[in-house]
Amino acid sequence: SSIAVDTLQAPTPPSSAYFSQSRKWVSFKIQHSAPQRVWYNKQNGVEEVKDGTSHGNNLENGVRRKKLAVFVSGGGSNFRSIHEASLGGSVHGDIVVLVTNKRGSGGSVYARDNGIPVVLFPKTKDEHDGLAPNDLVAELRKFEVDFVLLAGYLKLIPVELIRAYPRSILNIHPSLLPAFGGKGYYGMKVHKAVIASGARYSGPTIHFVDEHYDTGRILAQSVVPVLAKDTAEELAARVLQEEHWLYVEVTTALCEERIIWREDGVPLIQSKENPSEYR
């Protein structure tokens, strides 16, 4: 991968209480080279697809349309939200491949119904057709993937993939990290722990992925109240509703190359309407 680094003087953000006027920003644009796209038969963990979803490399305001890989383990409601936003035109990118560790997951069914190739990862005793880490990277290269979006994928991402896609893999977690994150904190377990703690607020976090569970740099969060008589299911539904719009908003910014990295390593989202503002 080639990394072009642009350093620029940041304009004054709306609140000087948090940022210094002399703060510098570093913008990283990751370009992944890959061979031309090919079609696959159902072998080696990749299922044949008759009709793809890519709209080509058309430009919007000088930005190339991005190609996305989404990873799911379950129903994939966030995957569906992003796909619908892509089809609707609000996301300047296309989901070109779905990766799952469960062949029969709801997300896999939705992908097949919509002509999106499905890749199995990792290889297990239950999924003999699953790919090894290096083979997974090779497949994503063949699909010319720009960014990887984890949407309810419960397996640890291999270091081979993280190194192949630096600062290009995002995950969504159903709590306000760094609270209630890490190994073992997933699904309803997170919401039960939040309620048991007495926390008054929760909400989804979108963060970049590193080699550990839920420890990568935080990119975006949304806050919801934890009500006095909440059940885990009620809290989960409230958080999930926030997840759907937040992940679409972040994916939109990602595809439009509006993720800005501060010199201390903190990623921020540049406003489309006002480039001098960040969130």
Q: pLDDT of the chain along its 279 residues, tens only?
A: 333 333 333 333 333 233 333 334 443 333 443 333 333 345 556 654 444 444 445 777 789 999 999 999 999 999 999 999 999 999 999 999 999 999 999 999 999 999 999 999 998 887 788 999 999 999 999 999 999 999 999 998 999 999 999 999 999 999 999 999 999 999 999 999 999 999 999 999 999 999 989 999 999 999 999 999 999 999 999 999 999 999 999 999 999 999 999 999 999 999 999 999 999
Q: Which of 55, 92, 128, 173 is catalytic?
A: 173
Contact predicate 175/205, CB 8 Å? yes
Instruction: Report the alpha-carbon distance of residue 275 to residue 89 in Å, rounded.
Output: 21
Distance (Å) of CA 9 to CA 15, 53, 75, 252, 265: 16, 39, 43, 24, 16
The yes-or-no answer on residue 173 being catalytic is yes
Instruction: Report the alpha-carbon distance of residue 203 to residue 176 in Å, rounded.
Output: 6
pTM over 0.85: no
The Cα diameter of the chain in Å comes to 56
Residue type, 210: D
Residue type, 59: L
Alpha helices in the chain (DSSP H): 77-88, 106-113, 133-142, 159-164, 188-197, 232-255
Please return the burial class of 2, using the count of CB atoms within 10 Å of its CB with bins 0-12, 13-18 and 19+.
exposed
